[in-house]
Amino acid sequence: MENKKIVLSGIQPTGTPTLGNYVGAVRNWALLQKEDTFCCYCVADLHAITVRQNPTELRKFRYNMAALLLAAGIDPERSIVFMQSHVPEHTQLSWVLNCNTYMGELSRMTQFKDKSAKHEDNINAGLFTYPVLMAADILLYQTDLVPVGHDQKQHLELARDIAIRFNNAFGETFKVPEGFIPGTGGRIMSLQEPEKKMSKSDPNPNGFVAIMDDPAVIRNKFKRAVTDCDGEIRYDLQNKPGVSNLLAIYSIFTGKSMDETVNDFKGSGYGALKTTVADAVVEELMPIQQRFREISADKEYVAKVLSDGAEAARRMARKTVSKAYHKTGFDK
């Protein structure tokens, strides 16, 4: 493992995972499993309770999310898959990092501002310090690379700042991670309001495609996707966000460059564009859905993957916590 690049990322088990989560993150998580990488992927269940959750639903969502990661191609023979709450080192490190993070930095986080506007009745301290827990998730594993969507860029930069600050104050302790944010696909937009990102908490289900949506539902959602009225198919994020979003999705699912993609639709109308994009998405998601049904039915298998994953994660995480605690002055 010494010469391998460490990759780490997480996903919250809240709501229905969407095409945005898949394209911006999970799809790349699977692709990053290579000869020269060692990947650690977690279901960030501790993060989920920054917004009020029903415990029974949370239990189900976190299990399903783990099964979905496996169905999407995360291979537990090569990578670690674990539940964040099974690895207490995340909260242990998070306290030390909290004491090395400024209120001013956290107040500038746009997700905090957005989420506190959305959940005015529950602006809890965890929602405010959540980016510090995310920094702990990353720094615990001496991570080189963090594959995330564009909306996590600010949190990632904070994690880097905290690492640099701690290293400067106490001596080299944490690797300073780099982000892996796809240029195309880092920000998949809502199908109904293409100037907003696709989000699983969108109250309008036509705005997002869920990874587990039926093929007919997926096709229908694409058919209703909001475009514009000039009828021309070209990639122009500024003036044609709806069409550009469809082109981006197509380019990712077919592996074609944007030029090739635009070329494929020369002379086509929006109707054909929507149908073709939907077909490409359905083709890739169907086998994942099938595997999800098989894997999620095998409770023993999922439990074993998660307990092996937590054990392996703890072995790595313990080393960093010991180091950070020692540097801070907490020795056994």
Instruction: Using the minimum distance from each CB to ligand TYM, give the nearer residue, 8 or 313.
Output: 8
Task: Name the one range near ligand TYM by CB under 6 A: 7-15, 118-126, 210-218, 292-300.
Answer: 7-15
**Should residue 198 be labelled a site residue for ligand TYM when binding is judged by CB under 6 A?**
yes
As measured in angstroms, the least distance from the Cβ of 58 to ligand TYM is 14
Which is catalytic among the residues 197, 221, 240, 274? 197
**Should residue 177 be labelled a site residue for ligand TYM when binding is judged by CB under 6 A?**
no
196 belongs to the catalytic site:
no
20, 179, 207, 309: which one contacts ligand TYM (CB under 6 A)? Answer: 20
List, in sequence order, every residue forming a beta bridge with 38; answer none if it has no partner.
Answer: 6
**Should residue 109 be labelled a site residue for ligand TYM when binding is judged by CB under 6 A?**
no
Q: Which residue's Cβ has the minimum distance to ligand TYM?
A: 24
**Should residue 12 be labelled a site residue for ligand TYM when binding is judged by CB under 6 A?**
yes
Binding residues among 285-304 for ligand TYM as defined by CB under 6 A = none
List, in sequence order, every residue forming a beta bridge with 18; answer none if it has no partner.
Answer: 210
Instruction: Using the minimum distance from each CB to ligand TYM, give the nearer residue, 76 or 149.
Output: 149
200 belongs to the catalytic site:
yes
197 belongs to the catalytic site:
yes
Instruction: Using the minimum distance from each CB to ligand TYM, give the nearer residue, 25 or 66.
Output: 25
Query: Could you tell me the two tokens for 260?
Result: 């090739």
Instruction: Using the minimum distance from each CB to ligand TYM, give the nearer residue, 165 or 200.
Output: 200
**Should residue 44 be labelled a site residue for ligand TYM when binding is judged by CB under 6 A?**
yes
Which is catalytic among the residues 175, 200, 323, 327? 200
144, 151, 228, 264: which one contacts ligand TYM (CB under 6 A)? Answer: 151
List, in sequence order, every residue forming a beta bridge with 8; answer none if it has no partner.
Answer: 40
Instruction: Using the minimum distance from each CB to ligand TYM, give the nearer residue, 108 or 299.
Output: 108
Total number of residues that touch ligand TYM (CB under 6 A): 25
**Should residue 43 be labelled a site residue for ligand TYM when binding is judged by CB under 6 A?**
no
CB-based burial label for 118 (10 Å; 0-12, 13-18, 19+): exposed
**Should residue 11 be labelled a site residue for ligand TYM when binding is judged by CB under 6 A?**
yes
- List of residues 6+ apart from 108 with CB closer than 8 A: 154
Angstrom CA distances, 173 to 17, 148, 163, 321, stand at: 34, 23, 8, 10
As measured in angstroms, the least distance from the Cβ of 318 to ligand TYM is 18
Task: Name the one range near ligand TYM by CB under 6 A: 53-61, 147-155, 236-244, 300-308.
Answer: 147-155
Instruction: Using the minimum distance from each CB to ligand TYM, give the nearer residue, 44 or 67.
Output: 44
**Interacting residues toward ligand TYM by CB under 6 A:** 8-12, 20-21, 23-25, 44, 47, 134, 137-138, 146, 148-149, 151-152, 186-188, 197-198
Catalytic residues, by residue number, are: 115, 197, 200
